[in-house]
Amino acid sequence: MQLESEEVDAEYYNLIPSRFPTIDVFARISSGRSNEVAEVECLTNPRLKAKERLLNGVSVVDVEDPLIQNWNHAPFTYPNPDGTRYFPSTRSALELSEDLQTALAISVRKREAFLSYTCENPISLEMRMFKRRVRGRFANGRGWNPNMASKERRLRGQQVIDQGLDGVLFRPAERSCGVCITVLSGATLGRTVQADHFKFIWDGSQISTVYSFSSGEALTPEQLCSEMSVIAH
């Protein structure tokens, strides 16, 4: 079956765990020698090794090149052990959302699952939003069932690969009125820009509240997952 496809040229969003304000990642173990510890870590860092391969020995490059941005090539360097919606862990991919609210709804549910696995005590998590432009040809899976069985999703994903497409557009189960995109190559990504910071409040069993650092607004996961738009664009 030939999948319907279309050209994409639009901005998409995702969130990653962060610290706000930023901190020295090696501060607790470096005894004041963070630079030296960082240099040792760099020797075996797979993301930096991947960047070296991208640069192909060139020492002077365009530092604005999206391809070498950490946030753009790291997802294709560190495979997700759980895979993505339509692709197994053996196929690196990046999932993004078409709008801020859908990105938050998905991020909340993923963080809840992770914290449940580890039986985490009540805690607050800082998350930062990114946006970047995506350009390429993608399968149109908007009409697919958001709750499609895993086996069928993998078969659809393989069709996307077989047709040489850059990924797939789909509606997520977390917010079925939204649209997400799975990107299979960093070459389709524009430069990543940092957007708002958020705080997720985990009460020991669920994320109860999401705060925006920029607006001071507090929202519940139920609001974020609803069809009603609760975030100003």
Q: What is the pLDDT of residues 77-132, one digit of tens each?
A: 877 888 999 999 999 999 999 999 999 999 999 999 999 998 899 999 999 999 99
Per-residue confidence (pLDDT) for residue 67, from 0 to 100: 72
pLDDT on residue 68: 72
* Residue 58 placed within a domain: yes
Structure tokens at 80: 């997700």
pTM: 0.81
In a domain, residue 203? The reply is: yes
Please tell me which of 8-22, 42-56, 76-90, 149-163 the model is most confident about, judged by mean pLDDT.
149-163
> Does the residue 186 lie in any domain?
yes
141 is in which domain, residue-wise? 5-225
How many structural domains does the chain have?
1
Radius of gyration (Cα) for the chain, nearest Å? 19
Q: What is the pLDDT of residues 157-214, one digit of tens each?
A: 999 999 999 999 999 999 999 999 999 999 999 999 998 999 999 999 999 999 999 8
In whole angstroms, give the CA distance from residue 190 to residue 125.
27
The answer to whether position 16 is within a domain reads yes
Output the six-digit token pair for 121.
């005590």
User: Residue 209 domain-assigned?
Assistant: yes
